[in-house]
Structure 1
Amino acid sequence: MATDTEKICQLKSAVAGLNQISENEKIGFVNLVSRYLCGEAQHIEWSKIQTPTDEVVVPYDTLAPTPDDPVETKKLLEKLAVLKLNGGLGTTMGCTGPKSVIEVRNGLTFLDLIVIQIENLNSKYGCNVPLLLMNSFNTHDDTLKIVEKYSNSNIEIHTFNQSQYPRLVVDDFSPLPCKGQTGKDGWYPPGHGDVFPSLKNSGKLDVLLSQGKEYVFVANSDNLGAVVDLKILNHLIQNKNEYCMEVTPKTLADVKGGTLISYEGKVQLLEIAQVPDEHVNEFKSIEKFKIFNTNNLWVNLKAIKRLVEAYALKMEIIPNPKEVDGVKVLQLETAAGAAIRFFDHAIGINVPRSRFLPVKATSDLLLVQSNLYTLDDGYIIRSKSRKNPENPSIELGPEFKKVANFLSRFKSIPSVVELDESLKVTGDVYFGANITLKGKVTIAAKPGVQLEIPDGAVIENKEIKGPEDV
């Protein structure tokens, strides 16, 4: 058996011969694997975990109001760039190409909405907030074609690629492309923690600094709630915080999400993977860990440059085992939120739930296309007529999983404003137009039977198994 040192030496020489990737990518990859082999996992001592104070996780409603003066607002916005993580494909929802081009509402895609929002800011205040899209090699070509349609808009759009790393063969820790797997399956993008080195290596970081930008707002492209917030930006500039993670109160749907803790005098992210088995239930408790990471991050650009150049961002490594053509491989990834402990004066801000509106599945799409939300200047706004502060829980069966199938099953999206609890749909179900759902609704078509909910039906607190129940 080769020792870890021998493995790293063999890996270095193997990686040196991979001409598809840059020198920076080779260095980053070898460093990541070396750290993994050295078992450089940060061990969390459970007894040392402390709940962060309001100084560390600042309540949103205590933030100072933003200046009324448009000139002052413009000054604030001139210090900002917006970066959307755009490396994901829409495969889970049955789409090819980047997830950000799925239509969300009124024929507009995630990307359309993001562009409209920033365009409106630039027009209103006469500023230049640029938009950066971090693609992966999976989404790069498609995204370049898509952004052409914004060429006449008053927004500067930059695209860059995150790193491309070779998958590791588990048996001998050699790069998969060296075994003849030279196509896309031989490679992977190493998680969104890679945003910091990739921003630097692409040259985009220096471009932003030369334009006088100070902060970048980083968010997932599928989070419709992740919009520019002047109060947060103002707070960070006033208090010289190098890093801010937006957190929001946990509900039972978010029990696996990472949370912020105070640990040995620093604020840091605690992920479920770091939790000892005997404490997992405690971690999932809404009473003890009340907040979770939305992955909306605000980061000082000079601090990113300083830490990347010093190779100081050693985030926890997330091993992701996969199989390619019967070969067991490993992807080593990192998460951007875990970088919080390396920045000075890092804080969390406990934001309203409205800033976390991700669309991960068609059940989320149903909510944002319904009358629970309206669209205003590119912003998805929650309806005031909903009395319940929480959204209903929506569960759709596998027949609805792909966007095309989902759309074909609704003549129009039902009214769910008065759906206080939940909707659960299983089987071959089709919805007519102008349907209203209230309370708690379960619709379960019998196997082999197509069930159509007629136009105009009003269903309240019912379980429907056949046409006779409607």
Structure 2
Amino acid sequence: MATDTEKISQLQSAVANLNQISESEKTGFVNLVSRYLSGEAQQVEWSKIQTPTDEVVVPYDTLESTPEEPEETKMLLDKLVVLKLNGGLGTTMGCTGPKSVIEVRNGLTFLDLIVIQIESLNKKYGCSVPLLLMNSFNTHDDTQKIIEKYSNSNIEIHTFNQSQYPRLVADDFVPLPSKGHTDKDGWYPPGHGDVFPSLKNSGKLDALLSQGKEYVFVANSDNLGAVVDLKILNHLIRNKNEYCMEVTPKTLADVKGGTLISYEGKVQLLEIAQVPDQHVNEFKSIEKFKIFNTNNLWVNLKAIKRLVEADALKMEIIPNPKEVDGVKVLQLETAAGAAIKFFDHAIGINVPRSRFLPVKASSDLLLVQSDLYTVVDGFVIRNPARTNPANPSIELGPEFKKVANFLSRFKSIPSIIELDSLKVAGDVWFGANITLKGKVSIVVKSGVKLEIPEGVVLENKEINGPEDL
């Protein structure tokens, strides 16, 4: 067996010959693999974990209100950049191309809504908040074409690519492209923790600093709740916080999400992968760990520059095993939230659940296309007619997984203001103007086709076939 030192020197010579990627990508990749092989301690000492105080995780309702004067608001906003993580493909939802171009509502895509939101801010306050999209090599070409349609808007839109790293063959730690896999399957984007070095390497970071920008608001492009919040921006500027993670109260649907802890005097992210096996159930409970990371992050640009240049952002490595044409490969990734412990005066802010509205599956699409939400100026706003603060839980069978199939099975999205839970499985089709209330389960056997007639109200019903309607 080759020693780790031998593996690294073999890797270095193999990577040197990969002419598809830049020198900074080569260096970044070799550094990541070296750190992984050295086996840096990933797990935490459970007894040292402390629950963060309100100074560290600030309750949202204690934030000061923002300045009344439009001029002061303009000054705040002129320090801000919005960055959306746009590297993901819509493959899990049956779409080709960037996930951000899936239509969410009224024919508008995630990207349309983001652009409309920032346009209305810029117009209202006369400021110039730019939009940055961090693409991956998977989404770059499509995104470049798509953003041409915004060329007349009042926003500067910048794109840059996150790093492209070669997948590693698990057996011998040789890059997959060195073994003839030179197509896209040989490569991967190394997680959103890469946002900081990529911002610097692309030249965008220095350009933004030279324009007087101070903070970047980073969020997933599929989180419809991640909109610019002046109270948060105002708080960070006043308190000189270099980093802020928005967290929100955990429900049973979020038990796997990372949480913030105080550890050896610093605030840090605790992910399920770092939890010793015997404590996983405790990690998932909502008694001890009451909050989770929304991945809405606010970060000071000068601090990013300082830390990237010092090569100080050594986030926990997340090994992600995959298989390509029967070959077992490894992708090493990092998460942007894990960077919190490297920044000065880093905090969490415990925000309302409305700031976390991700669309990961067609069941989420059903929520945001329903009467539970409306869209105003690109902002997705929850219907006050629903008194329950939690959204209904929705479970759709594989027949609904792809967006096209999901859309074809609903003549119109049912009214769900008073719905608690919905489970649908099998060959089910919905007519128009249906109302669902309470707990509804529609589960039909294989080979049975069920059409729910238009206009019906289903309340606390269990349906297994036409006879139950």
Is the TM-score greater than 0.5?
yes
Q: Assess if the C-alpha contact under 8 Å between 2:220 and 2:296 holds in 1.
A: yes
C-alpha distance in 2 between matches for 1:468 and 1:208: 64
| Aligned match of 1:187 | 187
Letter in 1 for 2:167: R
Show CA shifts across 1:229-285 (max 9, x none): 000000000000000000000000000000000000000000000000000000001
| Aligned match of 1:148 | 148
Say which SS state the counterpart of residue 158 (structure 1) adopts: strand
C-alpha distance in 1 between matches for 2:279 and 2:12: 39
Deviates more, 1:444-453 or 1:401-410: 444-453
C-alpha distance in 2 between matches for 1:43 and 1:249: 24
| Aligned match of 1:212 | 212
C-alpha distance in 2 between matches for 1:45 and 1:113: 43
Show CA shifts across 1:136-186 (max 9, x none): 000000000000000000000000000000000111101110000000000
Letter in 2 for 1:405: N
Q: Assess if the C-alpha contact under 8 Å between 1:41 and 1:317 holds in 2.
A: no
Matched, 1:302 2:302: yes
Displacement of 1:42? 3.4
Matched, 1:265 2:257: no
Show CA shifts across 1:270-329 (max 9, x none): 000000000000000101000000000000000000000011000000000011111110
| Aligned match of 1:37 | 37
Matched, 1:376 2:376: yes
C-alpha distance in 1 between matches for 2:347 and 2:341: 10
| Aligned match of 1:26 | 26
Letter in 2 for 1:252: L
Say which SS state the counterpart of residue 148 (structure 1) adopts: helix
Displacement of 1:392? 0.4
Q: Assess if the C-alpha contact under 8 Å between 1:76 and 1:233 holds in 2.
A: yes
C-alpha distance in 2 between matches for 1:447 and 1:186: 39
Say which SS state the counterpart of residue 95 (structure 2) adopts: coil
Q: Assess if the C-alpha contact under 8 Å between 1:8 and 1:30 holds in 2.
A: yes
1:319-468 matches, within 5 Å, as: 319-419=319-419, 421-468=420-467
Displacement of 1:468? 2.0
Show CA shifts across 1:108-145 (max 9, x none): 00000000000000000111000000000000000000
Displacement of 1:462? 0.4
Say which SS state the counterpart of residue 287 (structure 2) adopts: coil
Say which SS state the counterpart of residue 50 (structure 2) adopts: coil
Displacement of 1:387? 1.3
Show CA shifts across 1:6-55 (max 9, x none): 11111111101110000000000000000000001333100000000000
| Aligned match of 2:48 | 48
C-alpha distance in 1 between matches for 2:170 and 2:360: 30
Show CA shifts across 1:66-115 (max 9, x none): 00100000000000000000000000000000000000000000000000
Displacement of 1:344? 0.3
Total equivalences in the alignment: 469
Identity %: 88
Q: Assess if the C-alpha contact under 8 Å between 2:43 and 2:276 holds in 1.
A: no
Q: Assess if the C-alpha contact under 8 Å between 2:372 and 2:417 holds in 1.
A: yes
Unaligned stretches of 5+ residues in structure 2: none
Displacement of 1:446? 2.2
Displacement of 1:445? 1.6
Q: Assess if the C-alpha contact under 8 Å between 1:99 and 1:222 holds in 2.
A: yes
| Aligned match of 1:280 | 280
| Aligned match of 2:165 | 165
Displacement of 1:388? 0.9
Letter in 2 for 1:38: S
| Aligned match of 2:131 | 131
Q: Assess if the C-alpha contact under 8 Å between 2:245 and 2:295 holds in 1.
A: yes
Q: Assess if the C-alpha contact under 8 Å between 2:43 and 2:275 holds in 1.
A: no
Q: CA RMSD in A?
A: 0.5
C-alpha distance in 2 between matches for 1:448 and 1:456: 25
C-alpha distance in 2 between matches for 1:148 and 1:43: 46
C-alpha distance in 1 between matches for 2:443 and 2:284: 30
C-alpha distance in 1 between matches for 2:328 and 2:446: 37
Displacement of 1:467? 1.7
| Aligned match of 1:201 | 201
- Structure 1 runs (4+) deviating above 4 angstroms are none
Show CA shifts across 1:360-410 (max 9, x none): 000000000000001111000000000111100000000000000000000
Letter in 2 for 1:436: T
C-alpha distance in 2 between matches for 1:117 and 1:125: 12
Letter in 2 for 1:430: W
Matched, 1:105 2:105: yes
| Aligned match of 1:240 | 240
Letter in 1 for 2:436: L
C-alpha distance in 2 between matches for 1:469 and 1:180: 58
| Alignment TM-score, normalising by the size of structure 2 | 1.00
C-alpha distance in 1 between matches for 2:24 and 2:413: 48
Say which SS state the counterpart of residue 61 (structure 1) adopts: helix
C-alpha distance in 2 between matches for 1:328 and 1:402: 27
C-alpha distance in 2 between matches for 1:281 and 1:225: 29
| Aligned match of 1:226 | 226
Say which SS state the counterpart of residue 461 (structure 2) adopts: strand
C-alpha distance in 2 between matches for 1:41 and 1:72: 46
C-alpha distance in 2 between matches for 1:388 and 1:125: 34
Letter in 2 for 1:93: M
C-alpha distance in 2 between matches for 1:22 and 1:205: 18
